[in-house]
Amino acid sequence: MESEKAGSVNGQPPANLPPGLHPFRDWTVEKFVELDEVPIDQAAQERHRIYCMLLMSIVLDDWNGNKYGEVGDYGQWRVDQRMPQAADVYRGGSYLGHNIAALAVDAEGHVIDYDFNHNEIFDSSVEHAESRLVRRVFALNQVYDSWQGNGDPLPRRIAAPARRQRRVFATAVTDRADRVTPRTPEKVASGYSTLLSDVTVYTSLESCAQCTGIMCLASVKEVVYLQPDAGQFLIGNIMRQATKAQSLSFTAPRPISGKEIGLKYYDELTEGAEDFTARVRDQPFFRSATKTNNSPSVTSYLCTDGAFRTFESAAEELSGWSTLDYPDYRPDRPEPALSNREVLAMVKDFLEYVKTVKNRGTSHRV
């Protein structure tokens, strides 16, 4: 007798199987994690790459490879990050962090804000960049606080309209009802769960289950990742597949890899991480009197000189980028969106803001 499919009863799906999973119960894992192809035209790819290089520039500006402290031996992996006066002291000071960050962009193309992974600051495994960022964006929408607001001390390259106000929160649902921006009746009824449904998140490393879950609870539109992380088991693809048919709230963002938008740094980071994994067993990432670490962790790779040079190349490209292939491209949407030319100017403004003011996204500050 042939064994029944795992989890089935008399060939029927289990009673508690969510309806959204019914179409996939007989699929192979390989098929389940393979999302339908959604072509991205060249103009939109160019737009995505601008934001990706902004994110890489932000990471570079606060670069710190001291995963296990500033004193020790990071071997060949961080030769260029040594302090000149001592071979076993590395620049970056006492901060213990990850070179992982995320950036949020609204539908018109305005940068909302960014945040960093802060696991080491809080002695916690859940202070990931995307989850911190989503909570931050919800808070910014409550107070409607924009980096482009009054009192901004920096000159601007473009006179673009400020971010459109979407919601003014009040305590009671009835107080909010007449202040929402026009949406479908279903989305208005679902309230705050769709507040970020037109937001794109850019993250420097493929999202984990926690971050995918939080972005799903916010119904973030899509997440663009600059580097894959095999340790996350394609959870973004799985949750997207399982929730994309829902008509109301809690839809996981569509994952978009850097490869899909023609980002050359995606391949550089992927290949660099693979090389690190292959060699770190024999050439430890870190040694001290009490500790040796030769784990092939991607967070260790992101502290290395090789990763630094990739991020540096992206920052240099953004800094010198002045000629676009699709300067006048704007997404087709009801509200006026920034053109690619305006986006490029705005992200350079935002990067200057990050470097000068440093009081929005919490990079290496709590």
Over residues 333-353, the pLDDT tens digits come to: 777 899 999 999 999 999 998
pLDDT at res. 322: 95
Q: How many residues does the chain have?
A: 366
Q: What is the DSSP letter of 60?
A: H
Distance CA 114, CA 132 (A): 9
pLDDT at res. 176: 40
pLDDT at res. 158: 52
Instruction: Round the average pLDDT of the chain to a whole number and report it.
Output: 82
pLDDT tier, 356 (very low <50, low <70, confident <90, very high otherwise): confident
Q: Which residue has the higher pLDDT, 364 or 168?
A: 364
Q: What is the pTM of this model?
A: 0.85
Over residues 118-153, the pLDDT tens digits come to: 767 776 777 889 999 999 888 776 655 677 664 554
pLDDT at res. 248: 59
pLDDT at res. 300: 95
Q: For residue 253, which phi and psi values (nearest 5 degrees)?
A: -65, 150
Q: What is the mean pLDDT of residues 92-110?
A: 87
Q: What is the DSSP letter of 249?
A: S
Q: Say what the alpha-carbon torsion angle 162, 166, 172, 174 is, to the nearest 10 degrees.
A: 130
The residues, any chain, with a CB within 8 Å of residue 143's CB and separated by 6 or more, are none
Q: Which residue has the higher pLDDT, 290 or 178?
A: 290
